[in-house]
């Protein structure tokens, strides 16, 4: 029993829509994975400890902070830049303040420029790995521990990056979701 041409066309259209939906569903996690592996788009690497190698070459790291529209916090880096040797572990702090009369939850997104240096900017610990909840009037200093991977000097494009900028943007989160996530990982907060 063969299908009529209209039925076959309809079945092909449905199959195409299902396929496109599946591709859209896997695109975001695949893109995130791709960016983490390659440093594409300024996504940083993550490590459990600092580098075993420290070079004599110095790099300047700049720090930038911004807020999503509607995020009521005040947010800024403690210092706007520091110099360190490639491979040396750095420690920087960002200050966040909730001037409102209610708890506000937030999560930081981040990137590194130039993009070619993203895969070589390695975070050991960061407030951006988890959501943050600030109580009314609360002010906190949030640390980020990092280093620039010595392999950067072997990359034909990234080796010319003498200044690297680490940028964070804080986004509001649903307070209930943030509290539930924190309950699942009690050691995740830096407050």
CB 135 within 8 A of CB 191: no
Residue 191 lies in a domain: no
The CATH number of the domain holding residue 167 is 2.60.370.10
Per residue in 132-179, pLDDT tens? 999 999 999 999 999 999 999 999 988 889 999 999 999 998 887 767
162 and 83 in a common domain: yes
Domain range for 145 = 42-184
Per residue in 85-112, pLDDT (tens digit) is 999 999 999 999 999 999 999 999 999 9
Whole-model pTM: value is 0.71
Q: Which helix (H) or strand (E) holds 139?
A: strand 139-148
Q: Are residues 61 and 31 in the same domain?
A: no
């Amino acid at each position: 029993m063969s299908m009529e041409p209209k039925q076959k066309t309809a079945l092909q259209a449905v199959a195409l829509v299902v396929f496109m939906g599946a591709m859209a569903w896997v695109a975001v996690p695949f893109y995130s994975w791709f960016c983490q592996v390659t440093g594409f788009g300024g996504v940083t690497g993550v490590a459990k400890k600092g580098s075993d190698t420290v070079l004599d070459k110095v790099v300047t790291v700049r720090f930038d902070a911004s807020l999503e529209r509607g995020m009521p916090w005040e947010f800024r880096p403690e210092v706007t830049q520091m110099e360190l040797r490639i491979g040396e572990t750095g420690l920087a702090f960002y200050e966040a303040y909730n001037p409102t009369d209610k708890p506000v939850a937030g999560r930081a997104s981040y990137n590194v420029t130039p993009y070619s240096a993203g895969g070589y900017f390695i975070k050991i610990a960061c407030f951006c790995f988890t959501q943050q909840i600030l109580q009314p009037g609360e002010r906190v200093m949030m640390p980020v521990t990092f280093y620039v991977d010595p392999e950067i000097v072997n990359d034909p494009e990234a080796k010319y990056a003498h200044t690297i900028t680490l940028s964070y943007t804080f986004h509001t989160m649903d307070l209930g979701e943030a509290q539930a996530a924190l309950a699942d990982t009690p050691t995740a907060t830096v407050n």
